[in-house]
Structures are given as C-alpha cells and as structure tokens.
C-alpha cells in the first residue's frame, strides 16, 4: 500500500515515537511510506534525524505549527491537498489534534480511499480554557464523519469521544501504542554504571519521572510532597528525565526547599538513553493530568520498576492496579505520596510488582504487536476491488 502519515511536529514525545515506529514497521513490510510533518520546534528535542534515516520519504511542511493560526492553517490545508494529490496514497493516517483535523480534511478533499486518525490524547480536554476545548470538540465532531477508522491508544479515548458525540462506535478501534522493548530489557549501559555516574548510591531508592517539564505533567504535585517524603525517607532520591519551559522554575523551588541534594534533573536526553536511565529507577511515578496512555508507565514496567499514576484517560489500561503498580484517584496527591511510601519502604513488593509489570508490558506494548494491529485496521478499512 501507499501510506502517508501526517503529524504536526517531530519533537521527542509519545505520539511522535508511535508515529515513527509505525512508519518504520510499515516500510520494513514493503509498503510505500511517506511522513509529512512540520519542523521539530520546541525545547523537547527533535526526532527528525531518526525519521530521515528510516528509509521512507519525509516531507517537511514549514508552515505547520502547533499553534492555531487561521490564515497559516488554510495554507497548510491547501499544501496538504496538493501533496496528497501528487502522492495518491491508499491510506492517509493522521496523528495529533491539529494535524488530524487539517490532514483528514485535506485527505477527504484529495479523495483518499482510506482515512485513519489516531487519538494519542484528547484535544478537547487539553486546555484550561473552556472556549478552546469547545472549539476542538466542535472541530472533532465535524471531522469524524470524514474518517474511515479512528484508532485509540486506549479504550478510555473511545469512551470519552463517544460521550462527546464524536463519531460512531463502529468507527473506533483500540491499538495500544507500541515501543521498542528490547533496550529496556537489556539496556546498553548497566544499572550500576548509570547510577554511579548519577551519584546514586546502592542504598538510595530512586523515584523516577519521565515527562516534559511543562504544565499539567504533575511535577507540581511531586514538589508539594517532596519535603514530607524526604523527611520520612532519608534514602529517597528523585530522578526527573526530560526538559521543558518550566525547568528553571522547578529548580528554583527545589533550591528554596533545601532539597537540591535529593533531585537529579537530567535535562534533555536522546531517546536512546531513556532505557538506561529508566533501569536506574526503583519505581516510576507519572502524575500527569492529561494522557492518552502514558508511555512512561509502560517504560517503567519494562525496566522492572513498579508504576504509580493517576487514574485518568487510558492509564488504567497501561498497568494492573495492585499487581504491577498503583492507580491513584485523579489528582489525589496525598494518596500518591502514600503509595510512593509503600514502595519506598518495601523492597520485596517492588521486586514482585516489577516482575509482573515487565511481563504485562511485553504482552501488550511491543512495537510488533502494534504494527500487526495497524495492518489489520488498514486491511479491514481498504475498499475491496
């Protein structure tokens, strides 16, 4: 098949990694794959080098930006129509909110036979502005009828979308977001060496977080809990992997609390380093307030670390509560801290949950499982000749 993927920007992030794995897997199976994206702008880091070396075609539409701009967005729409008429794909597969809305409309105008969209996170719950959420909700309702199949990274995405009157039940299919699991099972650098380089002694219990240092990612909750937790657990250390606009603010708050010796902020790291840093953790905490299904939860479990996360969106489908970690009522920071203490204090429980989490994550989130599932979605959606 001729397959075109469309995404707003190739920063380091879950939706972007999912898209690249899809492109790579489909290219390896002999499909003619093209990826259309905007420039990788932002402090999160770029995946453009990986995309460019994947063996498939990459087209950068320079006007494509995450921010809404009616004039510029109309130019993007016209540009996508021209590209799709030139490429004549059998399938257009869009990712992320803005690219999903513009890309599906362009694909419909270009008369693409099959139009697929993946919901990585719900746009109409993303903003603190009710007006912005309302606009996205209306646009999603208008665009859903143009879509052959809507892929969700968790069942929760389908349920919330249908509750908002977006699309029809038969349009939805769940395909869990895959990832390369081997580096987490056998990281390129040993846990002992990584911890030594980070200054983490053997007796330290490391609570790790993998997320952009940005709004709604839950770092504020951890900072609120940190003084009490650090007083209670002398061996507790926090390892934050990621960078973002709020890094300076967080560092100032940590210094003001006198906890600089308890926190390690790695800043921006290449994706290839995530497995070894995750292996250095004893448990993974992901207190984000908005997700599709958090890849960090899966990454932690693959590395043998039990996970703790708020019960939002698809997180419950990314782990088994009480067996591979703990699901906490949404934004209940007190309960989040209690569950962290349970695992910090109990090494045997950490090991038991870690083994169960690795087994569960391998069965559901391996990249090959995702590529196989997408292949079936495309085949079922393709008109029979």
What superfamily would CATH give domain 182-364?
A: Glycogen Phosphorylase B; (3.40.50.2000)
Domains of the chain, by residue range, sit at 2-178+366-381, 182-364
* 157-168 confidence digits (pLDDT tens): 999 999 999 999
The secondary element (H helix, E strand) that includes residue 3 is: strand 2-9
Query: Are 161 and 167 in contact, with CB atoms under 8 Å apart?
Result: yes
Average pLDDT of every residue of the chain: 94
Tokens of 200: 């983490």
C-alpha distances out from residue 182 to 167, 303, 329, 370, 375, Å: 37, 10, 32, 15, 22
114 Cβ neighbours under 8 A, 6+ residues apart: 90, 91, 92, 148, 149, 378, 381, 382, 383
pLDDT of residue 130: 78
DSSP 222-257: HHHHHHHHHHH-TTEEEEEEB--TTHHHHHHHHHHT
pLDDT of residue 71: 87
**Res 41 pLDDT > 70:** yes
2-178+366-381: CATH architecture: 3-Layer(aba) Sandwich (3.40)
pTM, whole model, 2 decimals? 0.81
95 pLDDT band, cuts 50/70/90, is: very high
């Amino acid at each position: 098949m001729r397959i075109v993927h469309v995404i707003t920007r190739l920063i380091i992030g879950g939706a972007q990694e999912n898209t690249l794995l899809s492109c790579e897997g489909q290219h390896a199976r002999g499909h003619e794959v093209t990826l259309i994206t905007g420039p990788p702008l932002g402090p999160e880091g770029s995946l453009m080098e990986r995309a460019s070396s994947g063996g498939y075609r990459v087209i950068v539409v320079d006007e494509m930006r995450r921010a809404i701009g009616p004039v510029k967005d109309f130019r993007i729409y016209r540009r996508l129509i021209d590209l799709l008429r030139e490429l004549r794909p059998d399938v257009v597969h869009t990712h992320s909110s803005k690219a999903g809305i513009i890309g599906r409309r362009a694909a419909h105008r270009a008369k693409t036979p099959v139009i697929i969209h993946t919901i990585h996170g719900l746009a109409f719950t993303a903003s603190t502005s009710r007006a912005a959420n309302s606009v996205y909700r209306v646009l999603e309702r208008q665009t859903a009828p143009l879509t052959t199949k809507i892929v969700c990274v968790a069942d929760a995405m389908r349920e919330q979308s249908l509750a908002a009157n977006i699309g029809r039940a038969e349009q939805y299919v769940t395909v869990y977001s895959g990832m390369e699991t081997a580096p987490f099972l056998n990281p390129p650098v040993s846990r002992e060496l990584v911890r030594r380089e980070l200054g983490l002694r053997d007796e330290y219990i490391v609570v790790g977080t993998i997320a952009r240092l940005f709004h709604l990612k839950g770092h504020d909750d951890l900072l609120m809990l940190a003084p009490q937790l650090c007083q209670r657990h002398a061996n507790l250390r926090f390892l934050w992997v990621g960078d973002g606009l709020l890094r300076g603010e967080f560092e100032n708050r940590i210094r003001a609390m006198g906890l600089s010796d308890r926190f390690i902020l790695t800043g921006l790291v290449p994706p290839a380093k995530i497995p070894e840093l995750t292996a250095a953790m004893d448990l993974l905490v992901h207190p984000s307030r908005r997700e599709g299904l958090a890849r960090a939860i899966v990454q932690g479990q693959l590395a043998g670390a039990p996970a703790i996360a708020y019960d939002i969106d698809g997180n419950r489908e990314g782990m088994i509560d009480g067996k591979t970690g703990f699901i906490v009522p949404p934004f209940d920071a007190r309960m989040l801290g209690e569950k962290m203490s349970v695992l910090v204090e109990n090494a045997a429980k950490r090991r038991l949950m870690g083994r169960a989490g690795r087994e569960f994550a391998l069965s559901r989130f391996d990249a090959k499982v995702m590529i196989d599932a997408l292949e079936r979605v495309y085949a079922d959606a393709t008109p029979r000749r």
